[in-house]
Chain A
Amino acid sequence: MSASDRSAAVEVLWRQRPRSRLLRGVLLALGAWTALAWASPELDLAGFLSERRASNLATFLQTELVPFSLRGTDWGPRELASWVLGAWRRVGADSTFATLQIAVVAMALAALAAAPLALGLARNFARREPFARSQGAVADGSLGWRATRGAARVSAILLRAVPEYILAFLLLAVLGPRTAWPAVLALALHNAGILARLGGEVVENLDPAPLRALSSTGSRRPGLVIFGVGPLTLTRGLLLFFYRFETCVREATVLGMLGVVSLGYWIQDARAKQYYDEVLVLVLFGAALVLAADLTSAVARYSIRRRS
């Protein structure tokens, strides 16, 4: 094969590469939008680099972040450590644990709510004969099942389309700030939407053979769920749970800023008083909690994966 033959063959291969007009259009639109965004006067990039900004930043880093009781004194790591420990005892410990508790309850509720939704939106389950060999439009064409699937899909999207923070903001007005419910419910609803969608995909990707065997021995829908779908999706379900758990802890931290008792509440409190040393240390407590949750999730996911 001569060099020119080879380059001709490469040329042919290049022309036959997979192409999608939709993908190109979307990429082009995204690129154009990003360029427009950076160029838009709204970001005010020129105004950002002002002298005042720089002096602001210098004051913030050199004075405001230094613990108040240590300012102007000759402090070292030991004084700093005892100040951090003091902050932990005063507000850190309680609110960090409250944050974790909010996340755990919210995720458990989300998982419980997501399970029926996931079944409802799975194309192979929510139809006249679950997991039966596809017979085109006949098997799943009935209006009732199509409506069920559509309703489940739409509610999953609706639940996750509204950010947790806005949900909590609205729920707080309805339920009042006396309990942690606004934060718990907001996190649970949003994550239920996400888990339902991902869980629906897990159900749709199940191998139908064992489930068909189960239904051929006379199992109806509840039996199929308890003895078939449930055990078969448990591993993936747990993996999804821990995947979201980490994010949920992160969100639980900030929801407090609206007035529910979690770390965010005290961050907002310190912010209102302009105690930025305290803001920073509380943010770092939150970061430590998220890292711990991250590590727990990683360990759990590893152990669940290894055992299955």
Chain B
Amino acid sequence: MTEVATAARRPYLLAGKRAWVLGLLVAAVLCASALRLSPAQLIPSGSGFALLREFAWAALTPALDYEAPVPEGTAPLALKVLDSLRSTLVFAAAGLSLAVAIGLPLGALASTAWWSRAADDSLPRGGVRKLSVPVLFLALRTWIAGMRSIHELLWAVLLLAALGLTPFSAVCAIAIPYAGTLAKVFSELLDEAPRDGADALRDAGASRLQAFLFGIVPRAVPDLASYVFYRLECAVRSSAVLGFFGFPTVGYHLQLAFDNQHYHEVWTYLWALIAVAFLFEALSSSLRKRVVLR
């Protein structure tokens, strides 16, 4: 009641969610002025403008063959593009599958279904447990947050420095932050899944692990599967960008073509990447329609 009364007294623009919108707009203007951004800077200079025009033209006419002569015996451009796409998908699939293997157990452990005090008899009782449970839970959550708070490219920087340019660095660079994100989302999905099935199983004498595996996990599987599929799309993008660090994915060839000013070739790679995104989009939307919404 009191909250309603105070909300009514506040000025119109500061009440409830409007305050958020207004606050965000003010923050954005302040940040823009701190960065000294002005719309006038968006107009490219003479050379930038020429580049933009060249670039726009290249977008409509992507290269179907190399723009400059290549040594005898070089594979045609189309094959090279397909091969870079294949590499991109290899790194994405390896990285994401490793992330799933790490992230799912972590997420299951970090779910409150596991750590809540109620009906918990698998952990030691008494003072040790009172102290150890919140500490362990917090440590686990912090670990997961740490994994995903560092961007995959920064993991790549660290891993490249530590291990050198080996393909497995790229796989790990994708796998670590993605495992953190998957663990977080999975634990949230498990927390939000209805508990009635698990309670019934517990009442029927199932162990805690059985109730968790057969009562809670299946309720979260459809959402989880659709999220993993979405992350696969993200992993393809990450993997493409990792090419900028020397791995043989789309980004590598794109940067090379750009540095050689072969803008039509740049667009061939870009369109190839966009085509993959369209494919994933079409697949995931038809899957969602048939599976999740049923």
Q: Which of A225-280 contact B (CB under 8 A)?
A: 234-235, 238, 241, 250-251, 253-254, 257, 267, 271, 276, 279-280
- Asked whether A202 is an interface residue with its Cβ less than 8 Å from the other chain, the reply is no
Q: How far is the CB of B144 from chain A (nearest CB, A)?
A: 11
Interface 1/0 per residue, A179-201 and B, CB below 8 Å: 11100110000000000000000
The reply to whether A162 and B274 form a contact with Cβ atoms under 8 Å apart is: yes
- Please count the residue pairs between chain A and chain B whose beta carbons lie under 8 angstroms apart in the complex: 193
The reply to whether A38 and B94 form a contact with Cβ atoms under 8 Å apart is: yes
Chain B residues with CB below 8 A from A271, complex form: 157, 161
- Asked whether A45 is an interface residue with its Cβ less than 8 Å from the other chain, the reply is yes
Chain B residues engaging chain A, CB cutoff 8 angstroms: 16-17, 20-21, 24-25, 27-28, 31-32, 34-37, 41-42, 44-45, 48, 51-52, 55, 87, 89-91, 93-94, 97, 145-146, 149-151, 153-154, 157-158, 161-164, 166-168, 171, 232, 237-238, 240-241, 244, 248, 251, 254-255, 258, 266, 270, 273-274, 277-278, 281, 283, 286-287, 290-291, 294
Chain A residues with CB below 8 A from B25, complex form: 108
- Asked whether A307 is an interface residue with its Cβ less than 8 Å from the other chain, the reply is yes
**11 examples of A-B residue contacts, CB within 8 angstroms:** A34-B94, A37-B93, A48-B167, A105-B28, A108-B24, A108-B27, A161-B274, A165-B251, A175-B44, A251-B151, A279-B157
The reply to whether B41 and A179 form a contact with Cβ atoms under 8 Å apart is: yes
The reply to whether B35 and A98 form a contact with Cβ atoms under 8 Å apart is: yes
Interface 1/0 per residue, A40-67 and B, CB below 8 Å: 1011110110001100110011001000
Interface 1/0 per residue, A54-82 and B, CB below 8 Å: 00110011001000000000000000000
The reply to whether B35 and A175 form a contact with Cβ atoms under 8 Å apart is: no
The reply to whether A37 and B94 form a contact with Cβ atoms under 8 Å apart is: yes
The reply to whether A56 and B27 form a contact with Cβ atoms under 8 Å apart is: no
Chain A residues with CB below 8 A from B274, complex form: 157-158, 161-162
Interface of B is mostly: helix
With known contacts A157-B277, A157-B278, A304-B20, A166–B290 Cβ distance under 8 A: no
Chain A residues engaging chain B, CB cutoff 8 angstroms: 18, 20, 22-23, 26, 30, 33-34, 36-38, 40, 42-45, 47-48, 52-53, 56-57, 60-61, 64, 97-98, 100-102, 104-105, 107-109, 111, 157-158, 160-163, 165-166, 169-170, 173-176, 178-181, 184-185, 234-235, 238, 241, 250-251, 253-254, 257, 267, 271, 276, 279-280, 283, 286-288, 290-291, 294, 300, 304, 307-308
The reply to whether A44 and B167 form a contact with Cβ atoms under 8 Å apart is: yes
Chain B residues with CB below 8 A from A161, complex form: 273-274, 277-278
Chain B residues with CB below 8 A from A48, complex form: 163, 166-168
Chain A residues with CB below 8 A from B28, complex form: 104-105, 107-109
With known contacts A23-B291, A44-B166, A163-B241, A174–B157 Cβ distance under 8 A: no
The reply to whether A286 and B151 form a contact with Cβ atoms under 8 Å apart is: yes
Q: Please tell me which one of the listed residues B21, B93, B151 contacts residue A250 in the complex, with CB atoms under 8 A apart.
A: B151
Q: How far is the CB of B137 from chain A (nearest CB, A)?
A: 16
Q: Please tell me which one of the listed residues A34, A241, A291 contacts residue B145 in the complex, with CB atoms under 8 A apart.
A: A291
The reply to whether B166 and A53 form a contact with Cβ atoms under 8 Å apart is: yes
